């Protein structure tokens, strides 16, 4: 049977999942609110309308929707509330689906994400405000595509939210220091004694992947940065 993917969106996740073999005709819902600082009701309504219309137009396709791990960390913001509502919309409207809760997805992007923001700031000698109590979980977008395809093909965790993330929560201070080392530039930082530690359980994921999968390697976050930081640097200062 010919594999049919309908991709809604044009950002990093949409581009990465385009052409992935999910083992079944799939509707990838990857267009919507990605900025965790978003508060505008119209932005949230626009995504809800887009997702609902896409599912209605493609009722026979298995839906894949990307949500956020911040929900599991107990962070309550307009963004996390919206993502939780979107999870309920997708699971209620789609005939079948996978909903993936993701941490900080790392890839080559042109918008403001955690790693790209740090790279830009260090290269342009801007002051970085760093929360000393914050930890973050870095997920290579290529690892996400690999694991998402495996779970959709096997139907593992279908119908409800599942986490795809690394097993390691990294202090933001360590992430900044590693990026500065890779760039061979000093980071001008303003340390703030605040922030929260992400709470991300990977128990279900460990049941789907071999024990030696890169996601369970405590040092994998450094490998991710080693790959992407030089690419991002060339985008800032070609």
Total domains, the chain? 1
Closest listed residue to residue 83, CA positions, set 152, 42, 32, 49: 32
Which structural domain, as residue segments, surrounds residue 42?
5-236
Distance of CA 26 to the CA centre of its chain: 19
Q: What is the pLDDT of residue 10?
A: 87
Count CB-CB contacts under 10 A for residue 59.
11
**Residue 158 vs residues 76, 155, 162, 209, 233: alpha-carbon distances, Å:** 25, 6, 8, 16, 38
* Cα separation, 219 vs 225, whole angstroms: 11
Q: What is the pLDDT of residue 5?
A: 86
Q: What is the pLDDT of residue 69?
A: 93
- Provide the whole-model pTM: 0.94
* Cα separation, 189 vs 181, whole angstroms: 14
Q: Is 97 helix (H, G, I), strand (E, B) or coil?
A: strand
Task: Specify the CATH number for the domain of residue 130.
Answer: 3.40.50.720
Q: What is the pLDDT of residue 2?
A: 46
Q: What is the pLDDT of residue 33?
A: 83
What are the pLDDT digits (tens) for 52-104? Answer: 999 999 999 999 999 999 998 878 899 999 999 999 999 999 999 999 999 99
Please identify every stretch of the chain with a pLDDT value under 50, giving residue numbers as ranges: 1-2
């Amino acid at each position: 049977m010919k594999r049919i993917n309908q991709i809604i969106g044009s950002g990093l996740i949409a581009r990465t999942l385009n052409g992935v073999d999910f083992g079944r005709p799939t509707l990838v819902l990857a267009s919507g609110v990605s900025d965790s600082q978003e508060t505008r009701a119209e932005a949230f309504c626009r995504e809800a309308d887009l997702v609902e219309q896409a599912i209605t137009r493609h009722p026979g396709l298995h839906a894949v929707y990307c949500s956020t791990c911040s929900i599991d960390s107990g962070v309550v913001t307009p963004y996390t509330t919206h993502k939780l509502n979107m999870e309920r919309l997708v699971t209620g409207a789609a005939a079948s689906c996978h909903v993936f809760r993701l941490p900080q997805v790392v890839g080559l992007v042109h918008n403001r994400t955690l790693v790209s923001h740090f790279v830009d700031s260090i290269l342009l000698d801007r002051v970085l405000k760093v929360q000393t109590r914050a930890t973050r979980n870095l997920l290579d977008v290529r690892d996400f595509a690999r694991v998402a395809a495996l779970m959709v093909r096997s139907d593992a965790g279908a119908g409800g939210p599942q986490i795809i993330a690394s097993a390691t929560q990294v202090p933001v201070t360590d992430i900044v220091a590693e990026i500065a080392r890779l760039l061979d530039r000093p980071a001008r930082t303003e340390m703030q004694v605040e922030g929260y530690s992400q709470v991300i359980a990977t128990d279900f994921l460990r049941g789907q992947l071999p024990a030696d999968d890169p996601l369970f390697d405590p040092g994998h976050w450094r490998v991710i940065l080693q790959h992407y930081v030089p690419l991002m640097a060339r985008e800032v200062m070609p």
